[in-house]
């Protein structure tokens, strides 16, 4: 660092005349061309570039690893279904199985989805749940998730429950017929894999999750339809999700007018904030001028 500082000082020590003449050498007895004497800022810039590139490479490698892990997991899950180790049910078939054979439905969704709609009589043991911790790492993840689309989709930051298996084992013996369900069918497949490896062999998976269920398929409790339990954020507020558009096609203009009114209200609120900010700016400018 000291050497870099000396080089930086020597370069800045060039006389104005030398700079105007475009002199290529340091003043005094120095014989090294200026072009070969990197400044502190130049080296710092290159170091920052290298650090940025290194971080980008690490992030890309992490994303590639995640994609490979997910692809491998999908293959394992497909093998479970293909080999008959996990039986496939449609939502309607699951409803019949619950009513006629008293099979147990295991709901593995996070609390953010469960509290909106759930199957009557089901048992809730989330495999992933909303992460409420406030440590720096979790807060950083929450901020990142929010900035990367959480504000629009409303999907919260989730964390794997390490006690998932033990909680299930506390409630059900290994020979229980379990119908495993989540919102879209992916997390429930992951749960089926864990349960099968733990010794549960009578497993049933609802294909497409509860979002694929019609209201008559399963007996529901909760304030919202199954199809709307997995949405949130600004997209839900404005009615811009696929699920809400499908509902609007069935419900008609009355349903659409609600969300149209919300959109108009949002634009009016944004305009009011903009005008208010302008007025505050003018007021502050007047205070400075006086």
Please give the structure tokens belonging to residue 186. 């992916």
Beta bridge partners of 205: 88, 180
To the nearest whole number, what is the mean pLDDT of the chain?
78
| CA-closest candidate to residue 145, choices 153, 190, 68 | 153
User: What pTM, to 2 d.p., does this model score?
Assistant: 0.68
d(CA 146, CA 106): 29
pLDDT at position 48 is: 53
pLDDT at position 53 is: 57
Residue 57, Cβ neighbours under 10 Å: how many? 10
For residue 5, pLDDT over 50 is answered with no
107: three-class secondary structure by DSSP: strand
For domain 84-230, say whether CATH 3.40.250.10 is its number.
yes
More confident of the two residues 256 and 35: 256
Which segments of the chain belong to CATH 3.40.250.10? 84-230
pLDDT digits (tens, 9 = 90+) for 62-74: 667 778 877 888 8
Q: In the chain, where do the E strands start and end?
A: 86-89, 104-107, 118-119, 123-124, 128-130, 158-160, 178-181, 203-206, 220-221
pLDDT at position 25 is: 31
More confident of the two residues 283 and 95: 95
From the number of C-beta atoms within 10 Å of its C-beta (0-12, 13-18, 19+), residue 268 rates as: exposed
Region 8-35 average pLDDT: 35
Q: Which of 21-30, 51-60, 109-118 has the lowest mean pLDDT?
A: 21-30
pLDDT at position 1 is: 38
More confident of the two residues 50 and 61: 61
d(CA 73, CA 60): 20
User: Strands 158-160 and 128-130: what pairing?
Assistant: antiparallel
pLDDT digits (tens, 9 = 90+) for 121-165: 999 999 999 988 888 988 988 898 888 888 888 889 899 999 999
Region 262-269 average pLDDT: 70
For residue 249, pLDDT over 50 is answered with yes
pLDDT at position 36 is: 40
pLDDT at position 12 is: 36
For residue 237, pLDDT over 90 is answered with no
More confident of the two residues 263 and 163: 163
C-alpha 252: how far from chain center: 32
pLDDT digits (tens, 9 = 90+) for 29-48: 333 333 344 444 444 444 55
Residue 256: partners with Cβ closer than 8 Å, 6 or more residues away: 239, 248
Q: Which of 53-67, 123-137, 203-217 has the lowest mean pLDDT?
A: 53-67
d(CA 103, CA 97): 6
Beta bridge partners of 130: 158
Residue 75, Cβ neighbours under 10 Å: how many? 10
| CA-closest candidate to residue 230, choices 107, 125, 94, 112 | 112
pLDDT at position 30 is: 35
pLDDT digits (tens, 9 = 90+) for 91-105: 999 999 999 988 999
d(CA 81, CA 89): 11
C-alpha 56: how far from chain center: 19
Residue 225: partners with Cβ closer than 8 Å, 6 or more residues away: 117, 215, 247
d(CA 287, CA 82): 74
pLDDT digits (tens, 9 = 90+) for 270-281: 777 777 777 777
Which residues are known to be catalytic? 182
User: Strands 123-124 and 104-107: what pairing?
Assistant: parallel
């Amino acid at each position: 660092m000291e050497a870099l500082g000396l080089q930086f000082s020597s370069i800045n020590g060039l006389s104005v005349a030398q700079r105007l003449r475009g002199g290529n050498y340091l003043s005094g007895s120095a014989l090294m061309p200026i072009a070969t004497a990197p400044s502190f800022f130049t080296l710092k810039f290159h170091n920052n570039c290298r650090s940025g590139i290194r971080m980008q490479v690490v992030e890309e490698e992490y994303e590639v690893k995640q994609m490979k892990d997910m692809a491998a997991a999908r293959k394992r899950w497909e093998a479970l279904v293909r080999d008959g180790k996990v039986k496939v049910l449609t939502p309607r078939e699951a409803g019949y199985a619950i009513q006629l054979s008293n099979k147990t439905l295991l709901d593995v969704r996070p609390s953010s989805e469960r509290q909106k709609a759930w199957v009557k009589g089901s048992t809730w043991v989330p495999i992933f749940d909303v992460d409420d911790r406030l440590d720096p790492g979790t807060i950083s993840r929450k901020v990142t998730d929010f900035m990367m689309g959480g504000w629009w989709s409303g999907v919260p930051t989730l964390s794997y429950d390490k006690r998932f298996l033990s909680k299930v084992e506390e409630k059900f013996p290994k020979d229980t017929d379990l119908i495993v369900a989540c919102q879209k069918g992916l997390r429930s497949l992951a749960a089926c894999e864990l349960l099968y490896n733990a010794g549960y062999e009578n497993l049933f998976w609802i294909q497409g999750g509860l979002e694929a269920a019609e209201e008559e398929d399963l007996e529901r409790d909760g304030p919202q339809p199954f199809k709307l339990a997995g949405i949130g954020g600004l997209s839900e507020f404005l009615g811009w999700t696929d699920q809400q558009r499908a509902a609007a096609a069935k419900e008609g203009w009355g349903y659409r007018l609600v969300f149209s009114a919300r959109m108009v209200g949002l634009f009016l609120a944004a305009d009011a904030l903009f005008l208010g900010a302008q007025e505050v700016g003018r007021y502050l400018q007047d205070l400075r001028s006086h």
